[in-house]
Amino acid sequence: MKKFLEMVDNIANDRTHGARELYRQGVETLLAWMEERGESHPQELITVLVRMAQAQPSMAPLLNLVNQVLLAWEINPQKAKVLLKEILEGEEGSTITLMREGIKILKGKRIVTLSRSSTLLKVIKALMNEGGKVEVLISEGRPLVGGAVTARLFHEMGMDVTLCTDGLIFSLVKEGDVVALGADAITPKFLVNRCGTYPLALVARDRGIPFYTFTDTKKLLPQGLVPLFRIEDHDHDEVMKDAPFSIVNFYFDQTPLDYITGAVTERGILSPEGLRSLMEETSISPKIREILEH
């Protein structure tokens, strides 16, 4: 049991990978636990899932994963194991569909973005492989400079890239054709993404520039799971060490969902209302209450 909790802790301590990668790690961890201990130690399930829910509480895929496993386990443990295997097998198919929709939005455009989105990166790679052309204007993404790292990746792909400071990106939105970002969670009220997304949405709205989030529907967080969600204040030393004053280091902000033009997903391009409708259809396990009590 200890090694599986340590695997979950590795997810909790990861400051490099995005929601999609950490979700896959979560699926692999739970599947490994079920194959080694699950049916013979069912009492451990809540302990493992509580730790998973706490690992990255601002990333909706992990919270949805907890709910999905509970719903399947209530039918029988074998179904939960099958579910996790199907998730791993089906990931690539959903990515292909999302990329096809994303290429239509981005082809020939100058994209304004920030930080790093693995989903957006895959769409742009697919577009480049088809011979399409795009330009990218991206901000640094402090304190971990995810945007600067992504800018290098784009440059190595042969793209025309402009990197700017986080504060400058808002003044340069007018030079873009489309704002394109990832997502860590989408609730009925908000898009949750890297800090700077909310003011970027405000400027895009003011300038009449379309604003899209590139995400799969695993990141939709229905109202019944919102109590598990929270935005954490991360290590203050990432901003400044030994500061003689208060520091806050939130990685994510919340943008009103109605400020986005649409979400590019494996189900097509969805409006805010379309996203809410999908969330309303999601079943919530009664055992989520046990997770919340812990």
Instruction: Show the CA angle centred on residue 110, arms to residues 210 and 152, nearest 5°.
Output: 120
**Per the residue annotation, which of 184, 242, 253, 258 is the catalytic one?**
184
Residue 235 appears among annotated catalytic residues: no
Looking at residue 207, what DSSP letter applies? H
Contacts of 245 by beta carbon, 8 Å cutoff, 6+ apart: none
- What count of Cα atoms within 13 Å lies in the side-chain half-sphere of residue 273? 0
Asked if 209 and 172 count as a contact pair (C-beta separation under 8 A), the reply is no
Report the distance separating Cα 224 and Cα 28, nearest Å. 25
245 C-beta neighbours (distance < 10 Å), count: 5
**Residue 6 token pair:** 């340590």
| Residue 205 vs residues 84, 173, 202, 222: alpha-carbon distances, Å | 40, 10, 5, 26
**What's CA 203's distance to the chain center, in Å?**
22
| Residue 176 vs residues 61, 106, 113, 119, 206: alpha-carbon distances, Å | 30, 11, 10, 20, 13
Q: Catalytic amino acids?
A: 184
